[in-house]
């Protein structure tokens, strides 16, 4: 179990950052035969990704929304996220095919949703919490006097390094 990190922390990360939200909505809770396999697929994917440093997967946070569970994932690039999603030899693609087959047999029993954000800038503050979110997925660093305010952290929070234009 992670311990509480005392003090004011933020994250540090340089490079492309993608935040991916994915979740399920349980529309017929009395039909676990339809939604439980969908629910059980995500932990397998998270274990697979966490064990592969080259996947581009940086970390995740599990949450519970109004319709069911969802996961906030952090990725080093959109291309690596797409590569994982479409690879038939990894957990996601077969799970997606199974979901679609089940959804055709029992429309509306369980829903899936996702949102993808390519982040240009990000700001974070965590005060006396266990590691979570961006600092857990990237690097947790103490907040310095210069970055005491959110405005200063977002101003310096550029994710994608500037590349000089070709002449």
Q: Where are the beta strands (DSSP E) in 5-164?
A: 5-12, 17-26, 57-64, 69-75, 110-119, 126-129, 139-142
DSSP letter for 54, please.
G
**Per-residue pLDDT tens digits for 57-95:** 999 999 998 889 999 999 999 999 999 999 999 999 999
**Per-residue pLDDT tens digits for 120-157:** 989 899 999 998 999 999 998 898 887 888 888 887 77
Query: What per-residue confidence (pLDDT) applies to 1?
Result: 61
Give one word for 68, left, alpha or beta, with left for phi > 0 and alpha for psi -120 to 50. Answer: left
Counting Cβ atoms within 10 Å, is residue 7 exposed (0-12), middle (13-18) or buried (19+)?
Answer: exposed
């Amino acid at each position: 179990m992670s311990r509480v990190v005392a003090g004011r922390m933020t994250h540090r990360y340089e490079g492309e950052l993608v935040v991916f939200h994915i979740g399920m909505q349980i529309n017929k809770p009395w039909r676990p035969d339809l939604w439980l396999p969908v629910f059980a697929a995500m932990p397998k994917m998270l274990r697979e990704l966490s064990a592969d440093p080259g996947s581009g997967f940086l970390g995740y946070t599990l949450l519970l929304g109004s319709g069911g569970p969802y996961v906030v994932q952090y990725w080093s690039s959109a291309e690596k996220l797409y590569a994982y999603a479409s690879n038939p030899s990894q957990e996601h693609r077969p799970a997606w095919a199974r979901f679609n087959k089940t959804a055709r047999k029992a429309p509306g029993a369980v829903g899936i949703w996702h949102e993808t954000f390519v982040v240009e800038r990000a700001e974070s503050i965590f005060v006396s919490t266990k590691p979570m979110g961006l600092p857990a997925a990237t690097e947790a660093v103490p907040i310095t006097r210069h970055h005491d305010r959110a405005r200063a952290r977002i101003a310096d929070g550029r994710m994608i390094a500037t590349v000089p234009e070709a002449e």
